[in-house]
Structure 1
Amino acid sequence: MSVQKIKEDVFSLRANDWDRTLFDELIPLPDGTSYNAYVVKGKNKIVLIDTVDPRKTKELIDDLKSLDLHRIDYIVSQHSEQDHSGSIPEILKMYPMAEVVTNKKGKEFLTELVKVPEDKFLVIEDMGTIDIGGKTLKFIFTPWVHWPETFSTYLEEDKILFTCDFFGSHIATNDLFATNEGKVMEAAKRYYSEIMVPFRTSIRSNLQKIKDFDFEIIAPSHGCIYQNPKMITDAYSDWSSDDVKNTVVIPYLSMHGSIQKFVDRFVRKLQEKGIDARPFDVVTADIGNMAMALIDAATIVIASPTMLSGVHPKIAYVAYLANVLRPKAKFASVIGSYDWGGREVDVLSGLLGNLKVEMIPPVLIKGDGREEDLKGIDDLAERISQKHRSINL
């Protein structure tokens, strides 16, 4: 961890987690992640904005000591999840005079989750302010990105918007700012795909809420700081919109080669029609890459053999994940292979109940299939092409 200056009397205290390979024990992290805390020094008060994951508490304490802070007056807790709030109890031991600044819901969570004493809170309201001497903090409630209590903090004089999980990215790096835009945006999209996709409506509302603030810097609590805020706000506007791309995502699993053959043919037929086809073998694929592809896809087609009259557990897992994330796809279908029968389509349809999609009739083929059976795959590609054209893709 290291202390880096953002502006005069404003510092980043970043704990890089280079070795973290999974986030929420779900999505692979090829570039690790970071937990970012911030210190703002006013003439009268000193503020710590967010803390870090409990596993990095010692690094945060060392950095606070390196700043030679004899006091912290306020600990602003923008989000109560433990990777941002988990170090608060130890910081309160160091700075017992500090008050924990949060909203009513945040107080409820922090009391329960990290056992902050009731008498340590300063509860703020939406658009409330704190003057710390030459610097003013304004609190902007941005709920459901991705918890109900989350808020952002606007440092008026320095035009910095601290956003916690909002606009974050999973990347461990020594770069303070998002200078490698391609790399950072890929990490930001992976981050968005894991936790933000189900909250598109709230994200759109919160983007509208912050748009009239004159901020030059966005400082999230994961990943790099944006000196070009429009880069990430435009991306969030795109990702959270109802617009989809001419893309079909195809999670598949092949036990004996039949499904692999069907998927290969299906991908070729879609590509011939100018459709971006993205197959993912669920046994070996990076689920994070698949989740990123799901953000924009117009159609999802799950391809699976029948197993014990249902579906393979890995396919069930992917269907469950898609159902939880609720991507904005418009259409869905199934390609199945069976030997003697089963309820594969019924099982998958049940697992996808949260998706607001039009179900296109499935293609079910016995064994390897005959040529006339395989033409059903061609017909499915054509139906999808027609559906995509119907919404002007």
Structure 2
Amino acid sequence: MVALVDRAQKRLTLQTAPLAADTTAIRSLDWDRDRFDIEFALENGTTYNSFLIRGDKVALIDTSHEKFRQLYLDCLTGLIDPVEIDYLIISHTEPDHSGLVKDVLQLNPKITVVGAKVAIQFLEDLVHQPFERKLVKSGDRLDLGQGHELEFVSAPNLHWPDTIFTYDHKTQILYTCDAFGMHFCDERTYDEDLAPLESDYKLYYDCLMGPNARSVLAALKRIGELPDIQTIATGHGPLLRHHVPEMMGLYRDWSQAQAKAATTVAVFYTADYAHSERLAQAIAHGISKTDVAVELVDLKVAEPHEISVLVSIAAGLVIGMPPQSGPDAVSTKAALSTILAAAHAKQAVGLFESGGGDDESVYPLRNRFQEIGLTEAFAPILIKETPTDATLQLCHEAGTDLGQWLTRDRSIKQMKSLDNDLDKALGRLSGGLYIITAQKNDAASAMLASWVAQASLEPLGISIAVAKDRAIESFMHVGDRFVLNVLEEGNYQPLMKHFLKRFPPGADRFAGIKTYPAANGSPILADALAYLECEVVSRMECSDHWIVYSRVDTGRVSKPDSLTAVHHRKVGNHY
């Protein structure tokens, strides 16, 4: 292990570890990273993993995030003279793995870059200098000598369109970049103890892999043809060695369940153009919260037949506007034509700009869909600047609105599904009336809540049940802070009526409401009876809700003699 920054600072450290014969992992540990966009909270930081394989020839698999530039390059040059590296294998070109490709090429311009065709095309725009290249696809092999024969496996859309896996036949290590990974920063190289990893593994799958469940199943089928896989060397988090069959089995089970979902939304974007992929991911995650399957498709590389088939089975379509000029304009415009030809009136649709300044106009395409008869699930999302937390929240909420629209009939059916006596009995469980408020940077949210209870005395803690498809759920991950506003009996109707409204995606929940900031930055409602400032400590998944346990840091009552408003229901199978 090489610790290049004091670990006590919990900032950036580097670790090297031998994996097998002639094989070394270089793990960049990012202790402080707490979020990948607003919907993806990182409770335990993350790592960016890179690998060095030495045979008669030497291969480096992936690099690191640019924030590790000096640490990584110092470590790499301490392990090997860069001029001895023959191949740089690019699993995919997302910046957290390819951020130092240009730096490595400057150290050794003669390195041959190995990657999928799409990856090489992306790199040309990234490094802006000529380089030797070797294009590979599934089944291609690269012999490094001394038994290290590398076989490549195409795995598009996991989670970028240019992803490839690399399998070393000598060590039986499969290098998978994002797939099978997790955002979990720990000095342990491997998955010895699953317990602390399980929730991060599932969250990572849900956010990055779940929207491409069919692609996951296709990749699992391809790697199933490889000899025994002893280790999965992931791009993020601990490497998998002790629980490989179990972890692969979870991917298979989750993906099969997603692929069988009755309702699917196709989200089309243009990889490596402006913010298209980032915005598409935010919308896709919002959709997936409603238990609707999502398929992410890159307009640049998708085959016309693939697009046509997916559109024909999808209940909803989301399209990020591609560039109207440049080398990709012809292929993306053809893809849009294919979508229009396959779309039908029973579908819902949503459009968003990519924010590249050269986007195709949303409105002609919107008019075409309206002529066909599609229902607009959310107003076009127009991006005029670099996306902020508020922008990503808007996308996230737009996706959730689309998913809720598509599942509205199912939700109504579920409301009527319980036995009448049981339904009435369950409804006799009463609760108070509260409003949860939260703020992160320029993004804010609020929710009327009733399923709230004190959960501990030392420390003082409360539990709140939050439906998975609520917008505020993204503000209530471990480490997040919020305010629980207690409503007053006899004086709660105006606030309850306001926060029960269905807000459009990105709308200001607090317009016209008097608030003042809590110490933790979240809004306190001036007309609340009392408030509690809280920090999320843990979450437990309960089918359609999360049980969020939070520590109470401080609080105040504005009217000591008043009582809390109480919510009495007639039935128990909906709010």
With the shorter chain as reference, the TM-score category is: 0.5 to 0.7
Of residues 88, 93, 96 in structure 2, which corresponds to 1:75? 88
Match of 1:36 among 35, 49, 52: 49
Letter in 2 for 1:172: C
Matched, 1:145 2:158: yes
Q: Which residue of 2 aligns with 1:378?
A: 572
Is the 8 Å Cα contact of residues 50 and 63 (structure 2) preserved in structure 1? yes
Cα distance per residue 1:9-61 (max 9 Å; x no partner): 10000000001111135422111000000000012x11000111111122221
Letter in 2 for 1:254: I
Question: Which deviates further from its counterpart, 226-235 or 13-22?
Answer: 226-235
Q: Which runs of 5+ in 1 are unaligned?
A: 266-276, 290-303, 318-367, 382-393
**What letter is aligned with 1:57?**
R
Q: 1:210 aligns with which of 223, 230, 233?
A: 223
2:112 to 81, 84, 99: 99
Partners of 1:123 and 1:258 in 2: CA distance: 51
Q: Which amino acid aligns with 2:256?
A: S
Aligned residue pairs total 298
Q: Structure 2: how far apart are the matches of 1:51 and 1:154?
A: 18
1:161 paired residue number:
174
Kept in 1: contact 2:38–2:474 (CA 8 A): no
Q: Structure 1 residues 378 and 102 mapped into 2: Cα distance closer, same or farther (>3 Å)? A: same
* 2:243 is equivalent to residue 51 of structure 1: no
Q: Deviation of residue 116 (structure 1)?
A: 4.9
* In structure 1, distance between residues paired with 2:96 and 2:70: 14
Specify whether residues 254 and 18 from structure 1 end up closer, same or farther in structure 2 by C-alpha distance, changes over 3 A only: same
- Shift of the alpha carbon at 1:88? 0.2
Measured against aligned partners, the alpha-carbon deviations of 1:229-255 in whole angstroms (never above 9, x if no partner) come to: 1121011112212279xxx98999837
Report the equivalent of 1:230.
245
Matched, 1:86 2:99: yes
* AA of the residue aligned to 2:149: T
Counterpart for residue 111 of structure 1 = 124
Structure-2 residue corresponding to 1:121: 133
Q: Give how far 1:316 is off.
A: 9.6
Deviations for 1:366-391, whole angstroms, at most 9, x for unmatched residues? xx8995xx32x42548xxxxxxxxxx
The answer to whether the 8 Å contact 2:448/2:499 transfers is: no
After superposition, the C-alpha distances for 1:52-101 in whole angstroms (9 at most, x for unaligned) are 11111222212212213351110000111000111000011112221110
How far does residue 133 in structure 1 lie from its aligned partner after superposition? 0.8
Structure of larger gyration radius:
2
Post-superposition CA distance 1:338-393 (Å, at most 9, x none): xxxxxxxxxxxxxxxxxxxxxxxxxxxxxx8995xx32x42548xxxxxxxxxxxx
Contact 2:20 2:171 in 1 (8 A): yes
Once residues 50 and 29 of structure 1 are traced to their aligned partners in structure 2, the CA distance between those partners, rounded to angstroms, is: 22
User: Are positions 1:242 and 2:253 aligned together?
Assistant: no
SS in 2 for 1:23: coil
Cα drift, residue 126 of structure 1: 2.0
| Cα deviations by residue, 1:249-307 (Å, 9 ceiling, x for unpaired) | 8999837999423x569xxxxxxxxxxx7646855865557xxxxxxxxxxxxxx9655
Assess, with a 3 A threshold, how the Cα gap between structure 1 residues 161 and 242 changes in structure 2: closer, same or farther. same
1:11 — aligned with what?
A: 24
Contact 1:306 1:312 in 2 (8 A): no
C-alpha distance in structure 2 between counterparts of 1:105 and 1:40, whole Å: 24
In the alignment, which residue of structure 1 is the partner of 2:145?
A: 133
Secondary structure at the counterpart of residue 127 of structure 2: coil
2:435 equivalent among 234, 240, 254: 254
CA distance in 1, matches of 2:144, 2:191: 28
Inter-CA distance 37–208: structure 2 relative to 1 (3 Å threshold) = same
Identify unmatched segments of 5+ residues in structure 2.
1-13, 261-288, 292-399, 401-432, 438-445, 454-464, 479-495, 510-564
Work out the CA distance in 1 between the residues paired with 2:434 and 2:217.
35
Matched residue, 1:333 = none
Q: 1:140 to 1:62 in 2, by over 3 A?
A: same
Paired residues of 1:50 and 1:84 also in contact (CA < 8 A): yes
Maintained 8 Å contact 1:34/1:171: yes
Q: Find the counterpart in structure 1 of residue 503 from structure 2.
A: 311
Q: Does 1:178 align with 2:370?
A: no
- 2 CA distance for matches of 1:88 and 1:124? 18
**Greater relative CO (CA pairs within 8 A, separation 6+):** 1
TM-score by structure 2 length? 0.47
Do the aligned partners of 2:101 and 2:127 also contact (CA within 8 Å) in 1? no
Change (3 A) 1:189 1:119: same
Cα shift readout 1:112-142 (whole Å, capped 9, x = no counterpart):
2x22534432111221111111211111001
1:193–1:288 Cα contact (<8 Å) kept: no
8 A contact 2:114–2:136 mirrored in 1: yes
Would you say the 8 A contact 1:129–1:136 is kept in 2?
A: yes
Residue type matched to 1:174 in 2?
E
Change (3 A) 1:141 1:287: farther
Change (3 A) 1:201 1:264: same
CA offset digits 1:185-218 (Å, max 9, x no partner): 2222121122122111111121111112121110
Instruction: Specify the alignment match of 1:23 in structure 2.
Output: 36
CA RMSD of aligned residues (A): 3.5
Change (3 A) 1:204 1:306: farther
8 Å Cα contact 2:110-2:131 kept in structure 1 = no
Q: Of residues 52, 59, 75 in structure 2, which corresponds to 1:63?
A: 75
Residues of 1 paired with 2:61 and 2:211: CA distance? 26
Residue type of the alignment partner of 1:85: S
Give the direction of change, closer, same or farther, for the CA distance of 1:16–1:138 in structure 2 (3 Å limit).
same
Q: 1:13 to 1:25 in 2, by over 3 A?
A: farther
Q: Secondary structure at the match of 2:572?
A: helix
The one-letter code matched in structure 1 to 2:449 is: Q
C-alpha distance in structure 1 between counterparts of 2:434 and 2:64, whole Å: 39
